[in-house]
Structure 1
Amino acid sequence: MTGRGRGSDQGADAIVGVSERSLFASTAPLPTAPASPPALRPGDQPLPAGIDTPVTVSKTGPVVRLRRHLGRLSPSGIRASLAYAATLELDRGIAFLLVPVFLALGVISYFSLAAEPGFVQPIAITVFLTVCAVVSRSWPRTHLCFIAALLCALGVLAAKIETWRAGTRMLGSEIATQVTGRVVSMDQMETGRIRLTIDVTSTARPKLRYAPERVRISAVKIPAGVRAGSLVSGYARLLPPTGPVRPDSYDFSFDSYFSGIGASGFFMGTPRLVAVADNDAPLLARLSSSVENARQDIADHIRSRVGGAEGEIAAALMVGVRAGIPDEINEAMRRTGIYHIISISGLHMALVAGTVMMLMRGAFALFPDFSSRRPVKKYAAAVALFSIAAYLVISGIVVAAERSFIMLAVMLVAVLFDRAALTMRNLAISALAVIAVSPHEVVGPSFQMSFAATAALVGAYAGWADHRAGKARPPPPKRSPLGFLIHRFLLAAGGLAMTSIIAGSATTLFAVWHFQRVSPLSLFANLAVMPIVSVVMFLSVAAALLMPFGLDWPALYLMGKGLTAMIAISAWISEFSPVDAVGLISRHSVLMVTVALIIATMATTWLRLTAIPFALAGLLSVSDTRTPDVLISEDARLVALPVGGGELAVSRARPNGFTVDNWKRALKSETIVLPEAFGTGDGQFDIFDPAQLPAGAPFYCLSGLCMARHPAGAIIAYVEDRKDTWKACGYANLIVVNDATGYDACHDPMVLVVTKRQLARNGSAAIFFDHQSSTAPAEIQFAVDRPYRPWHEQRKFSREARGLLPYQKPEKPDAVPAQ
Structure 2
Amino acid sequence: MAETSPHSAATRRHWFADALLAQRGSLILFVPICLATGIAIWFGLRAEPGEIVYWTAAACAALLLLLGLLAGDAVAPLFWAAALVLCGLLLAGGRAHSVAEPILSFRYYGPIQGRIVDIDRSGSDKIRFTLDQVVLEDMRPERVPARVRVSLHGAQNHMSPEPGLTVILTGHLLPPNGPVEPGGFDFRRLAFFERLGAVGYTRTPVLVLAPAEEGKAGLTIFRLRMALSQWVQSRIPGDAGAFAAAIMTGDRSAMPFPALDSLRRSNLAHLLAISGLHMGLLTGVVFSALRAALALIPWLALRAPIRKIAALGALAVGAAYLALSGGAVSTERAFVMVSVMLVAILLDRRAISLRSVAIAATIILIRTPEALFSAGFQMSFAATTALVAAFGLLRDHRARLPRSARWLAPALAVCLSSAVAGVATAPFAAAHFNRIADYGLVANLLSVPLMGTVVMPAAVATALLWPVGLSAIPLWVMACGLEWILGVAGWISGLEGSVTHVVAPGPAVLPLLSLGILWLVAWKGRGRWLGPPLMLAALLAWGRADRPDILIADSGGLVGIASPAGRVLSRPSGDGFAAATWLENDGESVNQTEAAGRPGFVGGQYDRVADLNGLSIRLLRGKTGAAAVESACGADILVTNIDLPDGHAADCVLFNPARLRETGAVAIWTDSTPPRILTAADIGGDRLWTR
TM-score by length of 1: 0.77
User: d(CA) in 1 for partners of 2:595 and 2:417?
Assistant: 50
Which residue does the alignment assign to 2:610? 708
User: d(CA) in 2 for partners of 1:766 and 1:293?
Assistant: 48
Which residue does the alignment assign to 2:681? 784
| Partner AA of 2:225 in structure 1 | R
The verdict on how the C-alpha distance between 1:132 and 1:347 changes in structure 2, with shifts beyond 3 A counting, is: closer
1:255-302 deviation digits (Å, cap 9, x = unpaired)? 1111122222222311112221236xxx8xx22222222222222222
Where structure 2 has 5 or more consecutive residues not aligned to the other structure, the ranges are 1-6
Instruction: Please list, as runs of the form range in 1=range in 2, the aligned pairs for 1:265-414 lying within 5 A after superposition.
Output: 265-278=200-213, 286-414=216-344
User: d(CA) in 1 for partners of 2:172 and 2:306?
Assistant: 58
| Partner AA of 1:150 in structure 2 | A
- Is 1:752 equivalent to 2:653 in the alignment? yes
1:634-689 deviation digits (Å, cap 9, x = unpaired)? 222222234443x54322332344333322221122224649999xxxxxxxxxxx
Which residue does the alignment assign to 2:100? 167
Query: How far is 1:98 from its partner?
Result: 0.9
Aligned partners of 1:240 and 1:262 also within 8 Å: yes
The verdict on how the C-alpha distance between 1:761 and 1:540 changes in structure 2, with shifts beyond 3 A counting, is: farther
User: d(CA) in 2 for partners of 1:640 and 1:499?
Assistant: 42
The verdict on how the C-alpha distance between 1:302 and 1:764 changes in structure 2, with shifts beyond 3 A counting, is: farther
Which residue does the alignment assign to 1:509? 427
1:748-777 deviation digits (Å, cap 9, x = unpaired)? 3xx43222222222322222222xx7xx44
Which residue does the alignment assign to 2:114? 181
User: d(CA) in 2 for partners of 1:612 and 1:579?
Assistant: 27
- Is 1:739 equivalent to 2:674 in the alignment? no
State the superposition RMSD in angstroms: 2.9
Which residue does the alignment assign to 1:257? 192
- Is 1:607 equivalent to 2:527 in the alignment? yes
The verdict on how the C-alpha distance between 1:445 and 1:264 changes in structure 2, with shifts beyond 3 A counting, is: same
Aligned partners of 1:302 and 1:315 also within 8 Å: yes
The verdict on how the C-alpha distance between 1:579 and 1:462 changes in structure 2, with shifts beyond 3 A counting, is: closer
The verdict on how the C-alpha distance between 1:492 and 1:468 changes in structure 2, with shifts beyond 3 A counting, is: closer
Which residue does the alignment assign to 2:174? 239
Query: How far is 1:124 from its partner?
Result: 1.8
Query: How far is 1:423 from its partner?
Result: 1.1
- Is 1:761 equivalent to 2:681 in the alignment? no
Aligned residues: percent identity? Answer: 31
Aligned partners of 1:235 and 1:269 also within 8 Å: yes
Which residue does the alignment assign to 1:443? 373
Aligned partners of 1:115 and 1:787 also within 8 Å: yes
Which residue does the alignment assign to 2:391? 461
The verdict on how the C-alpha distance between 1:719 and 1:607 changes in structure 2, with shifts beyond 3 A counting, is: same
Aligned partners of 2:340 and 2:360 also within 8 Å: yes
The verdict on how the C-alpha distance between 1:381 and 1:740 changes in structure 2, with shifts beyond 3 A counting, is: farther
Which residue does the alignment assign to 2:3? none
Say which of 146, 170, 180 aligns to 1:213. 146
| Partner AA of 2:313 in structure 1 | V
What SS is found at the alignment partner of 2:115?
Answer: strand
Which residue does the alignment assign to 1:638? 558
Query: How far is 1:575 from its partner?
Result: 2.0
- Is 1:567 equivalent to 2:486 in the alignment? yes
User: d(CA) in 1 for partners of 2:438 and 2:218?
Assistant: 41
Aligned partners of 1:493 and 1:527 also within 8 Å: no
Which residue does the alignment assign to 2:355? 425
User: d(CA) in 1 for partners of 2:553 and 2:410?
Assistant: 48
Q: Which has the larger radius of gyration?
A: 1
Which residue does the alignment assign to 2:38? 106
What SS is found at the alignment partner of 2:437?
Answer: coil
User: d(CA) in 2 for partners of 1:740 and 1:792?
Assistant: 23
User: d(CA) in 2 for partners of 1:361 and 1:136?
Assistant: 44
The verdict on how the C-alpha distance between 1:619 and 1:723 changes in structure 2, with shifts beyond 3 A counting, is: closer
Aligned partners of 2:616 and 2:636 also within 8 Å: yes
Aligned partners of 1:178 and 1:206 also within 8 Å: no
Which residue does the alignment assign to 2:18? 84
Query: How far is 1:588 from its partner?
Result: 2.7
User: d(CA) in 2 for partners of 1:559 and 1:781?
Assistant: 52
Which residue does the alignment assign to 1:616? 536
Query: How far is 1:787 from its partner?
Result: 4.5
The verdict on how the C-alpha distance between 1:105 and 1:552 changes in structure 2, with shifts beyond 3 A counting, is: same
> Which has the higher mean CA deviation after the structures are superposed, 353-362 or 712-721?
712-721
Query: How far is 1:192 from its partner?
Result: 6.5
> Which has the higher mean CA deviation after the structures are superposed, 715-724 or 558-567?
715-724
1:95-141 deviation digits (Å, cap 9, x = unpaired)? 22211111111111101100111233122222134224424644435
User: d(CA) in 2 for partners of 1:465 and 1:131?
Assistant: 42
The verdict on how the C-alpha distance between 1:529 and 1:372 changes in structure 2, with shifts beyond 3 A counting, is: same
- Is 1:194 equivalent to 2:194 in the alignment? no
| Partner AA of 1:602 in structure 2 | A
User: d(CA) in 1 for partners of 2:646 and 2:428?
Assistant: 40
TM-score by length of 2: 0.90
The verdict on how the C-alpha distance between 1:125 and 1:551 changes in structure 2, with shifts beyond 3 A counting, is: same
Where structure 1 has 5 or more consecutive residues not aligned to the other structure, the ranges are 1-72, 478-486, 679-695, 794-819
User: d(CA) in 2 for partners of 1:389 and 1:336?
Assistant: 30
Aligned partners of 1:97 and 1:602 also within 8 Å: yes
| Partner AA of 1:718 in structure 2 | L
Which residue does the alignment assign to 1:480? none
| Partner AA of 1:86 in structure 2 | L
What SS is found at the alignment partner of 2:387?
Answer: helix
User: d(CA) in 1 for partners of 2:318 and 2:371?
Assistant: 21
The verdict on how the C-alpha distance between 1:781 and 1:573 changes in structure 2, with shifts beyond 3 A counting, is: same
Query: How far is 1:705 from its partner?
Result: 0.7
1:19-60 deviation digits (Å, cap 9, x = unpaired)? xxxxxxxxxxxxxxxxxxxxxxxxxxxxxxxxxxxxxxxxxx
Aligned partners of 1:107 and 1:155 also within 8 Å: yes
> Which has the higher mean CA deviation after the structures are superposed, 498-507 or 94-103?
498-507
